[in-house]
Structure 1
Amino acid sequence: MNARNLFVSSLLALCLSFTLAIAQTDHLQSVPAPGSHPRLLLPARDEAAIRQVVGTDQTWGKVHKAMLTECDALLNTPPVERIQIGRRLLDKSREALRRLFLLSYAWRMTRQDTYRQRAEKEMLAIAAFSDWNPSHFLDVAEMTMAVAIGYDWLYNDLSPQSRATIKEAILKKGIEPSLDPKNNSWLKASHNWNQVCNAGMTFGALAIYEDEPVLAKQIINRAIDTIVLSMGDYGPDGAYPEGYGYWGYGTSFNVMFISAMEKAYGQDFGLSKQPGFLQTAAYMENMTGPSGRSFNYSDAGTGSELQPAMFWFANKTNNPSLLWIERERLQTNEGKSFVKNRLLPAIMVWNGGLSLDKITAPQALAWTGNGKNPLTLMRTSWTDPNAIFVGAKGGSPSVNHAHMDAGSFVMDANGVRWAMDFGMQDYNSLESKGVKIWDKGQNAQRWEVFRYGNAVHNTLTVNDGLQRVDGFAPIKRHGSSPDFMQTTIDLTDIYKGSLAEATRGIAIVKKAYVAVRDELKAGTTDATVRWTLLTPATVNILGPNRAELVKDGKKLLLQVQEPATITLQTWPTTPTHDYDAPNPGSVRVGFEVKLPANTSGNLTVLLIPEGKTTGNPAVVPPLRQWP
């Protein structure tokens, strides 16, 4: 060995020992080594069951056909190129994972050689990249998973030369960069980076296990030890702090990791028993309203999408009703609408041959989860498309990917999202203009981004100020009575220094309308409080305390029950900075009240959908009387 190679080997050994110092437990000591290829997610013995279900079940046949059709379209598409956008290569890694998962699935189900050849071409192109961008390690993690699946699923039919080239790329451009401390801060993270990166590295380790057994075992042991840090965020009830979009990211990769462990070792080393993890499926199921839109708090998109991981949860808990929303998506949408989901083939691994016709609606109409971002989700029906739905949250702006939205809510009725959330803005659109969106101090530039502040969420703004970053809003109590489903959120800490006390209650009353009641007390100085509703509807002010919202031919009445003397008004959603995203088709409606120092006041607003109630709604009682 020459001096240079000796130095490199010594450096890698040093990095490895440093990295693995936090992972002393040998979880794999007493378990057999994983079997022959293919060993990731889908052993050869399980292929027949998938072929049977796609041949006998219309819905699964539709999804299967859509995947093959997409693979046919990929045959003449050039491989991904190493084109970095800002600091990320992530869009290329994700496209690589989508393509290789689909093409490898198509090869295994049909044995049509065109699919294998196209997947091999993709892997060789990726293997030739200079690197997989370890400075933004999510890029490496997803690329490693992509190539690992292709390598493992096609292993027995790859040429020796291709096999060697691809294996070397997994090792040198995937796994070994994760040993360098400058690339692996995610090992100590409690958010989605931990889940995604540990999953990607483990897939790579399992794929090349027979060639690098010692290193592979160390990587897998490291993952089992450290992924529990991120899984701690599900406790105690399953509410995922980072919201809908990042549940679909972090949790799906967490499930990919656990599923790979189950298939390779026959166990998950106790990971699925982590507090709140299995319960998080109920959180996800309840996050989508009758409008088809999710409760998109924090950095989430505005829509919702098929979640293959939900099928793993349903099988694991033997609870098919968790799939009620997924059932509707699969049965009402065309198969081609799902093929952009890069984990779609996993749904065929996890569905267990379940007929969607056997899935029944959940029984509970309300769900509450505590944790870093506690929330309540409630609806009047699972089967009525015109049902009322409310998602309301407490929490803190300090949570990863959070906005200043403690006390905020969304609302559906008659198939319309009346109270909305903008959700995220594309990160690169902000980073490319120098906006420091990852600093979360009280005076950080992040809070100058229009969509991130409390002034454009369905919550309170006091003295034109921001919510407190280090504040926390817990759910004090909640109730699931069909005639008065409610949640009560203590916002006092969020507005500390501006208000002495602040409590918000949100209820669905008699399955007919929504009541929002705020009980406030000013501190030693006067406080001006703005109550805001962000809506995509057209707002017609009918009087000082009444406004009509119109959307898609439907109507909703906003009525301020107290205080008696207020003046409703609207505010535009036109951003103030050139880096802010435009917000067409939206408006804010609300009012302002002044609370003299050391005095108390109540704000009660009713949101009454057209056709849901007759007569005048009852006076909303004080929060202490809410059941």
Structure 2
Amino acid sequence: MKNLKTALIFVLTISCSLSLFSQNESEGHSNGVKLENPITEAFIKKHLSKQSPKLILTPSTEKLLKQKLKTDALVKTYYAFLKEEAFRILETPLLKLELEGFRFPDAREALRKLATLSIVYRIDENPIILNRINEELVAISSFDSWNPQHFLDVSQTALGVALAIDWNANTLPKETIKLAKKALMEKAILPSFNTTSERMGWIDGSNNWNAVCHGGMIAASLAIADENPALAAKTISRALEKLPNSLKEYAPEGVHPEGPFYWRFGTSYTAVASNVLKTALGTDFGISKSPGFMQTADYRLEVTGPSGDCFNYADSDGKTDGDASAVLAWFAAQTGNGAYINKPFFEYPNNPDLLLAEEALIQQNEGRFAGVALIWLAQCSFENTTQLPQAWYGKGHVPIVVFRGDKDDTKQFYLAAKGGSGLISHGNMDAGTFVFELNGIRWVIDPGNQNYYPLNKIGFELSNSKQDSERWTLLTKNNFGHSIVTVNNELFNVKGNVPVVDFKDDEIPEATFDLTELYMGNIKSLKRTFIKENNQSLLIEDQFEINEATQMVTWQLMTVADVEPTKNGAILKQDGKILNLSILSPENLKISIISLDPAPLKIDKQIKNLKRIEIRIPAYFLKGNGGLLQVRLSDKKSN
């Protein structure tokens, strides 16, 4: 159990730390996103709250939390878990600065441990827990550094220390508070201004690093603002100038181009920035009002299927983890929308659906914001619970379309498809791909992310997104590992952009993506349309026009189901259920089954029973220059 937990924490920390490619170093005020920025030393001195605590937890929110612990079963149950977790932390060794390559994997543990212990101490006032908080703070503050060569580590450590000294300001030894504040300044805030250091592109960048690092520095600055208001003002002012770079990525409707996995990382710290600024200075200066930001919680629900797995595009895994559940609780607290609460996460250990308690425990331990989540959960009023629409189109750099079953759906129909470009941060050659669920089974899968550390260790150019980069040799990254259409067996044009050109939210919804730019002139045009015929049937139409360069058009579908070829398609079998794949047009086409277990390269992600179903159409097979490939996925045979 302990080893598995450690492995999960390490893998997820590595995953969050992909190099800063595609940072898009643009001005912070683009796309109309501009935050108020009146921050000066005088402003800090005048407006900094005199109450204690003042970062997320305040006297009023603490009073509400203690009331909810008496009246709200969900809050009470979740706190019981946190209390258990606090005592488990007591049995673990103090954190040490031990690097894996150039990363400090336990930075997330610094935040998780300090926030969990601190919120439990605020409620129970157990001196044993306070002593451990003190020991952790002294140990962390005494590190030689917080690893500024990988500033995500600095930010996460700094946030944990800031919350711990703020929440326990009146009970920790004064020497510890002094030591921790000195560490915040010397090991976090001042190094953040060393722009000549490695990997400092986050300052002006637009991906999740921008949100995480500036968010952590805001919290650190507010924690030391009473002693050094000038340094705090300089740091917070910079953050308000630069945060729009990542905030604009949510416009116009909350879709996050980096996918659901990195959504929860960057969005969590954006929520933290908003929260600490409001509680300490009285306003978040417009963060929560940025175009699309409050809508992004809807995006996160939309890209989660009935199975509970996410549409795992853009270097994402498929699971909903603790950090996602925590930040959604912040959105629930802001909006009163109960749909944002992932009850199974907060109901452990009293949820009968979680049959394997250890699995639930591991899921919760993944959450570095576990302690903070209790405060957000207690603030939820559940004034309303919105229902997800049957057809949803999220606009943005990576347009997403989702179709679901209606209110009477017993088949758990779910389609999620994407457009966009491979040049997006964490982007892959997967524009036009989709995942599909029916009857509780994910039949069409995405291979998802793979562990970065073994690749970085051998010098693999994972962060290079140029057309000839070795990144595109990996099955998880290139178009041969996704459910799309490939032409002439060639890689996609990494610069090619795929928009949604038609969307109909009718009784029979449909959406069309234009894939033409992906093929670098190997085909004249190709458009892909998804049609939800009913709650048990999806029709995929690929309309294309060939040219002299077109030799072979290959339709691809990724699955881990068993596949049995039929006269006009295939039968997929998984967990005692079936899905029919029927080729409606052209006639006389057969499928091919390409086993990808093992994957082509030793360094590829290995997925048990993975295979690619192909439908190959040679150019000479077509009459004229056009073609229409129609494939139906249904639990009933086509006529």
Which TM-score applies when normalising by structure 1?
Answer: 0.90
Map of 1:259 onto structure 2: 275
> Equivalent residue for 2:394?
369
Match of 2:81 in 1: 66
Mapping 1:466-485, distance limit 5 Å: 466-481=491-506, 483-485=507-509
Structure 2 match to 1:144: 158
- Over 3 Å counting, the alpha-carbon distance change for 1:158 and 1:173 in structure 2 is same
**Equivalent of 1:460 in 485, 490, 498:** 485
Partner residue of 1:429? 454
What is the CA deviation profile of residues 498-552 of structure 1, one whole-angstrom value per residue up to 9, with x for unaligned ones? Answer: 1110100112112221111100111222331111111121111122x22111111
Partner of 1:319: 337
Aligned: 1:349 with 2:365: no
Q: Which deviates more, 27-36 or 180-189?
A: 27-36
Q: Confirm or deny: 8 A CA contact 1:322 1:362 kept in the other structure.
A: no
Note if contact 1:421-1:534 (Cα within 8 Å) is conserved in structure 2: yes
SS in 2 for 1:290: coil
Of 200, 205, 212, the match for 2:216 = 200
- Paired with 1:474 and 1:149, the residues of 2 have a C-alpha distance of 43
Note the residue ranges of structure 1 that are not aligned, 5 or more in a row: 1-19, 618-627
Contact 1:57-1:355 at 8 Å conserved across structures: no
In structure 1, distance between residues paired with 2:628 and 2:546: 11
Amino acid at match of 1:81: K
Give the whole-Å Cα distance in 2 for the aligned partners of 1:205 and 1:447: 41
Give the corresponding residue for 1:98. 112
Asked if 2 retains the 8 angstrom alpha-carbon contact of 1:291 and 1:385, the reply is no
Partner of 1:26: 38
The one-letter code of the counterpart of 1:159 is: P
1:184-210, Cα deviation, whole Å (9 max, x unpaired): 321110110000000111111111111
Q: For the residues of structure 1 that align with 2:51 and 2:448, how far apart are their CA atoms? A: 45
SS in 2 for 1:204: helix
Aligned to 2:24: none
Aligned AA for 1:317? T
Does the 8 Å contact 1:405/1:454 carry over to 2? yes
Change (3 A) 1:105 1:382: farther
- Aligned partner of 1:529 in structure 2 is 553
Q: Return the offset for 1:577.
A: 2.5
Q: Which runs of structure 2 are paired with 1:52-91 in the superposition (5 Å)? A: 52-89=67-104, 91=105
* Larger mean Cα displacement after TM superposition, 304-313 or 553-562: 304-313
Structure 2 stretches of 5 or more lacking a match? 1-27, 29-33
Bigger drift between 558-567 and 594-603 goes to 594-603
Map Cα deviations across residues 266-288 of structure 1 (whole Å, 9 max, x no partner). 21111222111111111111111
Q: Is the 8 A contact 1:375 1:391 kept in 2?
A: yes
1:355 deviates by: 6.5
Partner of 1:214: 230
Contact 1:362–1:382 (CA under 8 A) maintained in structure 2: no
In the alignment, what sits opposite 1:621? Answer: none
In the alignment, structure 1 residue 114 sits paired with structure 2 residue 140: no
Task: State how many pairs are aligned.
Answer: 587
Displacement of 1:24 after TM fit? 11
Matched, 1:516 2:540: yes
Q: Distance in 1 between matches of 2:402 and 2:340?
A: 15
1:303 counterpart (301, 319, 322): 319
SS of equivalent residue, structure 1 residue 548? strand
What secondary structure sits across from 1:603 in the alignment? strand
Aligned CA distance change for structure 1 residues 264 and 385 (closer, same or farther; 3 Å): farther
Aligned to 2:588: 565
1:135 is the counterpart of 2:153: no
State the identity %. Answer: 30
Letter in 1 for 2:479: N
Do the aligned partners of residues 424 and 616 (structure 1) sit closer, same or farther apart at CA in structure 2, a change above 3 Å counting? closer
Superposition RMSD in Å: 2.2
Aligned amino acid, residue 332 of structure 2? A
- Structure 1 residues 402 and 382 mapped into 2: Cα distance closer, same or farther (>3 Å)? farther
In structure 2, the CA distance between the partners of 1:152 and 1:367, relative to structure 1 (3 Å rule), is same
Letter of the 1:417 counterpart: R
Residue 247 (1) aligns with residue 258 (2) = no
Distance 1:557 1:118 in 2: 58
Superposition deviation, residue 602 in structure 1: 1.1
Match of 1:170, SS state, is: helix
Q: 237-246 or 56-65: which moved more?
A: 56-65
Report the equivalent of 1:538: 562
| Distance change (3 Å), C-alpha of 1:422 and 1:383 | farther
Q: 1:418 matched to which residue of 2? A: 443
Answering whether residue 625 of structure 2 is matched by residue 602 of structure 1, we say no
Q: Is the 8 A contact 1:495 1:502 kept in 2?
A: no
Match of 2:579 in 1: 556
**What CA deviation, in whole Å up to 9, does each residue of 1:47-70 have, x standing for no partner?**
121112122222221111000001
Query: Normalising by structure 2, what TM-score?
Result: 0.88
User: 8 Å contact 1:595–1:601 — kept in the other structure?
Assistant: no
Contact preservation (8 Å) 1:300, 1:423: yes
Question: Which amino acid counterpart does residue 77 of structure 2 have in structure 1?
Answer: K
Deviates more, 1:63-72 or 1:575-584: 575-584
The amino acid across from 1:360 in the alignment is T
| Aligned mates of 2:82, 2:275 — CA distance in 1 | 21
SS of 1:156's equivalent in the other structure is coil
CA distance in 1, matches of 2:155, 2:464: 24
Show CA shifts across 1:226-262 (max 9, x none): 1111000011111100001011111111111111111
Given candidates 232, 245, 251, the residue that maps to 1:235 is 251
Q: Hey, what's the Cα distance between the residues in 1 that align with 2:131 and 2:391?
A: 50
Kept after mapping to 1: 8 A contact 2:422/2:494? yes
What is residue 468 of structure 2 aligned with on the other side?
Answer: 443
Q: Which amino acid in the other structure matches residue 327 of structure 2?
A: A
Relative to 1, partners in 2 of residues 1:366 and 1:352: Cα closer, same or farther, differing over 3 Å? farther
Give how far 1:76 is off: 2.3
> Which amino acid in the other structure matches residue 379 of structure 1?
R
Tell me the distance in 2 between the aligned counterparts of 1:616 and 1:69: 54
Residue 384 of structure 1 and its aligned partner are, at CA, apart by: 5.4
- CA gap of 1:168–1:441, structure 2 versus 1, over 3 A, is same
Q: Partner of 2:108: helix, strand, or coil?
A: helix
Kept after mapping to 1: 8 A contact 2:35/2:287? no
The structure-2 alpha-carbon separation of the partners of 1:95 and 1:35, relative to structure 1 and needing over 3 Å to count, comes to same
Distance in 2 (CA, whole Å) between partners of 1:55 and 1:127 is 36
3-state DSSP of counterpart to 2:243:
helix
The corresponding residue for 1:393 is 418
| 3-state SS of 2:256 partner | coil
Structure 1 position 312, deviation (Å):
2.3
Q: Is the 8 A contact 1:430 1:580 kept in 2?
A: no
The residue number in structure 2 matching 1:620 is none
Query: SS at the partner of 2:269?
Result: helix
Equivalents in 2 of 1:148, 1:68: separation in Å? 21
Within-5 A mapping of 1:497-512:
497-512=521-536
In structure 1, C-alpha distance between the alignment counterparts of 2:515 and 2:615, rounded to whole Å: 19
For residues 181 and 425 of structure 1, do their structure 2 counterparts lie closer, same or farther at Cα, with a shift above 3 Å needed?
same
SS at match of 2:225: coil
**Match for residue 17 of structure 2?**
none
Kindly provide the amino acid, as one letter, of the partner of residue 128 in structure 2. Answer: T
Alpha-carbon distance in structure 2 between the residues aligned to 1:290 and 1:529: 32
Specify which of 45, 52, 58 is matched with residue 37 of structure 1.
52
Deviations 1:484-506 (A, max 9, x none): 12211011112231111010011
